[in-house]
Amino acid sequence: MKIVMLGAPGAGKGTQAKMIADKYQIPHISTGDIFRANISNGTELGKKAKTYMDQGLLVPDELVVDLVVDRVQQDDCKKGYILDGFPRTIPQAEALTEALKKLGEKVDFAINVEVPDENIVKRMSGRRACVSCGSTYHIVYNPTKVEGVCDKCGNELILREDDKPETVKKRLDVYHEQTQPLIEYYTNEGVLVEVDGTKDMKDVFSAIVDILGA
Ligand SMILES: [Zn+2]
């Protein structure tokens, strides 16, 4: 079972990806993890990626695809895998399709966790972080015992820059521009499935299991 996870930042796709990986016993693969593994193992691809990262440059699509294709050919991927955060763009998606075709493989499901922007902005703006120990909370889903005070160390909680509505909206705009076309792409490939990400985490997961099969 080869799965691509799609969804806006803050839609909860990472959580769902982990739950899928656990249930179906397939690796949850993120590009960040692949980069780190290749760099720490000093592979040729890792060395190449590092030269870009050291200069503060984006790793080119071609190299990212090479790294992902290399990863999905490892032994633990025989039963399948779940890609989280890749592909991000149409050129990456096309390159992945081509590379998998050469291996006689294809993506089986592209799961889009659909959450309206307003909900994401609302969710993120409820997050609070401790200025001292870094603990994170949510005013609705994970509140502290005393409002605005860290349970662990008693210091002040703040709304981080990253979680402010303006910042979240900007990030969502970038997402829609760049990643939304992937939804069309995977629809045309006949593998797109959508789940309502506004529901409870467990309900979202059972909707996914209904699609993938128990
Ligand atoms: Zn604290």
Q: What is the pTM of this model?
A: 0.84
Give pLDDT, residue 104.
Answer: 92
Per-residue pLDDT tens digits for 1-49: 999 999 988 888 989 999 999 999 999 999 888 999 999 999 999 999 9
Dump the DSSP string for 139-193.
TTTB--SSTTB-TTT--BEE--GGGSHHHHHHHHHHHHHHHHHHHHHHHHTT-EE
Helix intervals (H) in the chain: 13-24, 31-40, 44-54, 61-72, 90-102, 117-125, 165-188, 201-212
Residue 102, amino acid:
K
Rounded distance from Cα 159 to ligand 1 centre (Å): 13
What pLDDT sits at residue 133?
96
- Give 107 Cα–ligand 1 centroid separation in angstroms: 43
pLDDT at 31: 87
pLDDT tens for 97-151 read 999 999 999 999 999 999 999 999 998 999 999 999 999 999 998 999 999 999 9
Contact call for residues 172 and 125 (beta carbons, < 8 A) = no
pLDDT the model gives residue 178 = 83
Tell me, in angstroms, the distance from the centre of ligand 1 to residue 32's CA. Answer: 27
Residues in the 5 Å CB sphere of ion ligand 1 = 130, 132-133, 135, 150, 152-153, 155
pLDDT of residue 186 exceeding 90, the answer is yes
Cβ atoms of residues 158 and 140 within 8 Å:
no
For position 59, what pLDDT does the model report? 87
Specify whether the CB–CB gap between 109 and 211 falls below 8 A: yes
Cα(163) to centroid of ligand 1, in Å?
Answer: 18
Mean pLDDT of 148-159: 96
User: Which residues make Cβ contacts (< 8 Å) with residue 153, sequence separation at least 6?
Assistant: 130, 132, 133, 135
Distance CA 190, CA 73 (A): 23
Interval between CA 132 and ligand 1 midpoint (Å): 5
204 neighbors 194 (Cβ within 8 angstroms):
no
Of the chain, the percentage scoring pLDDT greater than 90 comes to 82
Give pLDDT, residue 57: 86
Residue 131: phi and psi, rounded to 5, are -70, -20
Catalytic residues: 13, 88, 127, 160, 171
179 pLDDT band (50/70/90 cuts)? confident
Query: How are strands ordered across the β-sheet holding 28-30?
Result: 28-30, 81-84, 2-7, 109-114, 192-196
Cα-to-centroid distance, 14 and ligand 1 (Å): 25
Instruction: Give the mean pLDDT of 59-82.
Output: 92
Please give the average per-residue pLDDT across 160-174, as a whole number.
92
